Chain A
Amino acid sequence: MDAFANLLMGFQIALSPYNLMIATLGIILGTIIGVLPGLGGANGVAILLPVTFVMPPTSAIILLSCIYWGALFGGAITSILFNIPGEPWSVATTFDGHPMAKQGLGGQALTAAFASSFIGAAFAIILVTFFAPLIAEFSLKFGPPEFLGIQLLTFSAFVGLGGSSPVKTIAATLLGFILATVGMDIVSGQLRLTFGTVELMRGFNFVVAVIGLFGIGEILLTIEEGLEFRGAKPQVRWRLIVETLRELPQYWKTFGRSALIGSWMGIKPGGATPASFMSYGIAKKFSKTPEKFGTGALEGVLAPETAAHAAGVSALLPMITLGIPGSPTAAVMLGGLLIWGLQPGPMLFQERPDFVWGLIASMYTGNVIGVLIVLLFVPAFAAILRLPFAILIPLIIYVCAIGAYAVNNSTMDIWYMLIFGIAGYLFKKLDYPIAPMVLALVLGDMAESALRQSLIMSQGSPMIFFSSPIAAVLMILSCWLLVSPVAHPMLRKAWYRTRVTT
C-alpha cells in the first residue's frame, strides 16, 4: 500500500524530537487558548501565525494544527466545569457535562470527554489517511470551472445548512469577497477599491480580520453579558480515570455513530456544530435511558465530543486535498500555507509529500500527546479561568494586538483589528454569520481567478460551468442549496395542501 509507505515517511517527520516538542507546545498553547474567553481555535492560530514564519513549513503546520486540537480539548474543559462553551460545537457538551460536574462527577465527565474526543479524532484521522490521497488524485483533473463549483458549493452550504438568516449569510459572504478584492488585482496588477488612499493599497489581511471578528468581538459580547466564571472544581485522580475508561467500551455503538456523523458533517463547511447537536440527539434517541439526558448522562458527553472532534479533523480533509477549508480555523491554516509559499490543492500531494504526510502523521501524534496532557493537567488549565477578569481581559487584548501587528509589521492593522472587533460584535448581535465571511476573505483571490480563468477559457460564456459533468453537478447542487431555504417551506406547504385536499 502506497498510503502506508507515505504514512511511515510522515511519522519519521512527525516523530523527530523538534516536531514532537513543537506539537507539545502547540497542544499546551491551544488548550490555554481554548479555555480563555474570546480566544478560540481560529484566532489562536491567527495570532501565532507570524511566529511560524521562522520555522520550516512542516513544523509550522504541526504547530498550528496542534493548537487547533488543543483548542478543541480546551473547549470541553470550560463547557463541563464552567458551563461556558468555548466554541459553538461544545454547546451540546454542556447539556450533560455541566450537570455531571455539579454532582461532583466533573472528573468522570472530563475523562469521558477527552477519551471520546480522542476516539472521534482517531476515527476521522484514519479516514483522512486513506481518503485524502484518493480525493487529491481525483481532483487533479479539476480545472478552474470545477474549482469555482466547489467554492460555490462551500458557500451555499452555509446558506442552506447554516442556522443564520439566509440573506444575511449571503450578505456576509459577499462582504468577505469584497474585502478580499481590496488592494492589488492579481490578474491585471491594477490597484482596486483603494478610494485613492495609501492605507488600503495592501488590502485587508485575513489574520487581522479573524483576530478582530472572533477575538475582540467575542470579548465585547462576553463583557456585555457580564459573565462570571464560577466553576466546579475538578478532581482528576488516576483511579478515577481508569475506572471511567473501563466504563467506556459499553458505549461503542454511541462512539461509532457519533464518529460517523462527525466525519461526514465535518467535510462540509461549518459542520462541527450541527454534527455535535445531531449526534447528541441521535444518542438520546437510541439510548435505553433517554430521560437521563440533560441531567448528567455520560452518553450525553460522549456523543457530542466524539462528533465534534471527528468533524474538526475531517474539516482538514478538503483543505489539504482541494484547498477549500471546511472551517474558519482551517481557513486560517490555508492562509498560512499561502504565506509559507505552498500552493494548497491536489498538487501538494505530489510536490510536497513530506509536508502533507508529516501533517497527517502529526494528527496521530498530536492527539495522543493532547489526550495525555489534558488528562494530566486539567486542574492547571481550569485554574486559568479563575484568574480575575480585570487581568484576563487586558492580557487577551494585548495578545490580540501583538498578533494583528506581527502579520505585516503595521500598526494600521491594530486599528483594523479594533474596527473588525466592533463589526464582529454587531454582526453577532444582528445574526450575520462570521465564518463564511472569513472563508470568503481567505478564498477571495482564488475564487476570483478561478472565475476569470473559466470565463477566459470559454470566451465569456457562463455555460462553461455546466460543460463538464463534475462542474455541472457541483453547480446544480450549490444552486439547490442556495434556494433551499426559500424552496423548502414552499414545497412543504404545497405538499401539505395536497394532502389536506385529498
Chain B
Amino acid sequence: MRKADIGLALILLVLAVLVAWESLQLDIGWGLNGPKGGFFPFWLAVGLALCCLVILVQAFRSTSPTLRQPLIRPGGWVPLLKVAAPATAMVALIEMIGLYPAAALYIGFYMRWIGKHHWLLVLAVSVGVPLGSYMIFDKWFLIPMPKGWWGEHLSL
C-alpha cells in the first residue's frame, strides 16, 4: 500500500507540474478582463503539488499498519482482471462494430466464461438485453447509440 500511495502522489505531482506549465503558457497575470485564463488552474496546480509533497512525506514517515498491507490482497488480481479486461474489450468493440453487437458479445462471453450458465440462458440475455435497450434508447428516446462499422455501411 505504501508503494501505491507514493506512486499515486507522484503521478498527481507530475500532473500538477504539467498543468502549472500549461497555465504559464496561457499567462497567469492580470489582463484586460481581470485575471487571465491561466490564473485559476495555475494556483490550483500549485496547491495540488503542495498537497502531494505533504502526502509523500506522510507516506514515507507513517508507521500505520494499513500502509504495510498490499494494495490488492493476494489473489485479488485475477477477479479484477476478469472484470476489467472484458469491459475494456467491449469498449474497443463498440468503436468497431457498434454498441449493441458489442454488448451482445460481451454479455454472452462473460455469462458463459465466468458464470458458466446454460447456453439458452446466455443467448436469451445477451440478445434480449441489447435488443431491449435498442428499443428504449434508439426508438423511444431517440438517442442514437454508436453503430460502428455497421452504421457506416448499412445505414440502419
Contact = CB atoms under 8 A, between A and B. Distances in A.
Interface of A: 50-51, 54, 165, 167-168, 170-171, 174-175, 177-178, 181, 185, 187-188, 190, 192-193, 195, 216, 219-220, 223-224, 226, 388-391, 393-395, 397-398, 401-402, 405-406, 409, 411, 414-415, 418, 422, 426, 429-430, 432, 448, 451-453, 455-456, 460
A320 to B, nearest CB: 26
A168 B115 CA distance: 38
A174 B79 contact: no
B34 A418 contact: no
Contact of B115 (A389, A415, A456): A389
Given A193-B23, A448-B40, A390 B117 contact: yes
A54 B58 CA distance: 50
B52 to A, nearest CB: 7
Given A178-B19, A224-B72, A414 B41 contact: no
B33 A401 contact: no
Contact of A171 (B19, B55, B71, B72): B55
A181 B91 contact: no
B76 interface: yes
Question: Which 6 A-B residue pairings sit nearest by Cβ, starting from the closest?
Answer: A390-B115, A456-B34, A171-B51, A394-B110, A174-B48, A390-B114
A226 B40 CA distance: 43
Contact of A398 (B12, B15, B106): B106
Nearest to A448: B40
Contacts of B48: 171, 174-175, 178
B111 A398 contact: no
Given A167-B55, A394-B107, A452-B39, 14 more contacts: A50-B143, A187-B34, A188-B36, A193-B22, A195-B22, A388-B117, A390-B111, A390-B115, A394-B86, A398-B106, A401-B91, A402-B137, A409-B144, A452-B40
B135 to A, nearest CB: 13
B129 A398 contact: yes
Contacts, number: 171
A388 B80 CA distance: 17
Given A54-B141, A398-B106, A190 B26 contact: yes
A406 B137 contact: yes
Contacts of A414: 91, 94
A460 B33 CA distance: 11
B55 A168 contact: yes
Contact of B145 (A51, A402, A448): A402
Interface string B1-43: 1001100100010011011001100100011011111111100
A453 B133 CA distance: 45
A318 B38 CA distance: 30
A190 B73 CA distance: 46
15 contacts: A185-B37, A190-B26, A195-B18, A219-B83, A224-B76, A224-B79, A390-B115, A393-B83, A397-B83, A398-B129, A398-B130, A402-B99, A402-B137, A409-B144, A455-B35
Interface of B: 1, 4-5, 8, 12, 15-16, 18-19, 22-23, 26, 30-31, 33-41, 44-45, 47-48, 51-52, 54-55, 58, 71-73, 76, 79-80, 82-84, 86-88, 90-91, 94-95, 99, 103, 106-107, 110-111, 114-117, 125, 129-130, 133, 137, 141-146
A426 B79 CA distance: 16
A402 B91 contact: no
A283 B110 CA distance: 46
Contacts of A411: 91, 94-95, 146
Which of the listed residues A174, A193, A409 has the most CB atoms from chain B within 10 Å of its own CB?
A: A174
Nearest to A460: B30
Interface centre among A50, A405, A430 (most CB of B within 10 A): A430
Given A192-B38, A393-B83, A54 B91 contact: no
Given A50-B143, A418-B88, A174 B44 contact: yes
Contacts of A432: 8
A190 B142 CA distance: 33
A405 B145 contact: yes
Contacts of B71: 429-430
B51 A174 contact: yes
Contacts of A54: 141-142
A430 B1 contact: yes
Contacts of A455: 34-35
B83 A220 contact: yes
B125 to A, nearest CB: 6
Contacts of A409: 143-144, 146
B4 A430 contact: yes
B99 A401 contact: yes
